[in-house]
Amino acid sequence: MNLNHVFVCGHPALDFAATLRARRSTRFEMFVTPERLNAWYLESGLVDSVTPGDEDDVREATAVREAIYRLVTDRRLGEGFDAEALDTVNAAARRPPVTPQLTENGRLTVATSAQALATVARQAVELLSGPDVPLMKECGNPECTRVYIDRSRGTRRQWCGMESCGNKIKAAAYRARKKTSPAVSAH
């Protein structure tokens, strides 16, 4: 599995929650180092620059990520929120967030890892208390556990993204159909 961060979920908090991939099988961790965590903050567009983090930042981000995923799952399944997960996300959301600054060249957002995490937690609060809750779906690929916002016409989208999951599933289904269809004889 590649180490590139993927942003296909339609909401930053869901993309953040998806950084532990394939939760039901191989469990592939994207936040293996403080640098990989900071890369997510940068690649997501949340910050322009982030101060170097440490292992504590990774542990805290991982705890908040898991709490977000739990709350998203609770909400998606129509269940009450897990109290511990709720406390974890709310505690992170209460901390100082990323604060953009105006410069001669436009907007500049420099942050610490803690500020970036507080901002992600606040985004999760907005998502889970907002109008997109009914649009949250889990990817149809059984190996994938990403949750995404389905804004497709008729809300018929089946996968988190065509590049990441849709093409794999469609190709596998095509190969399965080819195997089971009888060979055409040329008489």
Boundaries of every domain in the chain: 12-133
Model confidence pLDDT, tens digit, residues 96-149: 999 999 999 999 999 999 999 999 999 999 999 999 999 999 998 888 899 999
Band of the pLDDT at 6, cuts 50, 70, 90? confident
Q: How far is CA 109 from CA 5, 41, 65, 102, 129, in A?
A: 20, 11, 22, 9, 26
pLDDT of residue 25: 87
In the predicted model, what is the mean pLDDT of residues 45-51? 96
Band of the pLDDT at 55, cuts 50, 70, 90? very high
- Structure token pair of residue 106: 């436009």
DSSP-derived secondary structure for 43-94: HTTS-SEE----HHHHHHHHHHHHHHHHHHHHHHTTPPPPHHHHHHHHHHHT
pLDDT of residue 111: 97
pLDDT of residue 4: 78
Phi and psi dihedrals of 156, rounded to 5?
Answer: -110, 10
Q: Which of 169, 68, 80 is nearest to 118 (CA)?
A: 68
Strand partners, 29: 20
pLDDT of residue 22: 87
pLDDT of residue 128: 98
Band of the pLDDT at 11, cuts 50, 70, 90? very high
pTM greater than 0.75 (yes/no): yes
Taking residue 162's Cβ as centre, other Cβ atoms within 10 Å add up to 14
Average predicted confidence (pLDDT) for the chain: 90
66 contacts 30 by C-beta, under 8 angstroms? no
Model confidence pLDDT, tens digit, residues 69-91: 999 999 999 999 999 999 999 99
